[in-house]
Amino acid sequence: MKKIFSLLIIVSILLACKKVPLTDRRQMNAIPNSELNASSYASYNQVLEESTLSNNTQQVEMVKRVGERIKVAVEQHLKENNLGDATEGFEWEFNLLEENIVNAWCMPGGKVAFYEGILPICKDEAGIAVVMGHEVAHAITKHGGERMTQALAQQLGGMALSLALSQQPEQTQALAMAAYTGGSTILGVLPFSRLHESEADELGIKFMALAGYDPATAPEFWKRMKAQSEGAPPEFLSTHPSNDTRIEDLNKLLPVAKEYYAKSNKVSNNPIPNLSSITNSSSSEVKSATKAKFKLEIDNK
């Protein structure tokens, strides 16, 4: 019986192995897109319900404009590479949340959120494109499903993933939230998360270039982020590459990204309006324990 069970696990793992669009990296993703997106949309809507959407019309419009431009460019690029199904079932959404947190994230299916607190570091429209390209890349590469598969395998043992999704919805929803937003534990998961971040950087700089934003902005953004994040944890205990590693890697990627940019319809790089309205303290209160939980899990995406 043990041999049969072990064989079933091996077969399941092999069936779950897929290639990441545009990078061809092998990933284990056993979560069906329909299940993944449905869970993602429910989580995203809950975050929106427990948050305050920004009422700064000009900033909201800029975030949405950048998101739409990158979405259109990426979907066209995927079609040209016979990968149009990579965004099948996506319901793209780009929202700006009224809270002074230096963060942004993307859930499966194209659900993106920016916090007002990251806008001063973005500084301009191209800076928003750096972050947006990175977050869209997380969705295209199905990183959320890959993380969730790993988290479920670790925490639910030999239980079939489909059974876990149907019989333990609260537990799997909590794991999903952590998977979507970068929550993890030190043993085994953190190096994988750094891999995801580097992969999203690699594709993100290309995505912003395809949309007509100068990719040379990317290393400059991370230099500003480095200046903002003095005292950050060492790289080996972080879900992200160090800022220095990130800047070095992005500079290496610039020649290829510039080739995409040269062929794109260039976009004027407008400064983000009304940055003085974002103060050093949160502009909205945490309305419930649920929101506080989401803030903790989403932070440092």
3-state secondary structure of 192: helix
| Residues 69, 265: Cα–Cα separation, whole Å | 10
105: exposed, middle or buried (C-beta count within 10 Å: 0-12, 13-18, 19+)? buried
The C-alpha atoms of residue 70 and residue 245 are separated, in whole angstroms, by 25
- Helices 33-49 and 289-298 cross at an angle (nearest 10°) of 120
Among the residues of 141-230, which ranges form H helices? 143-155, 161-167, 169-181, 186-210, 217-228
Show the 3-state SS of 57-82.
Answer: HHHHHHHHHHHHHHHHHHHHHHHHCC
Whether residue 73 contacts residue 207, with contact meaning beta carbons closer than 8 Å, is answered with yes
d(CA 133, CA 190) in angstroms, rounded, equals 22
Strand 111-115 with 93-97, pairing: parallel
Active-site amino acid positions: 135
- Tally of CB atoms within 10 A around 238: 15
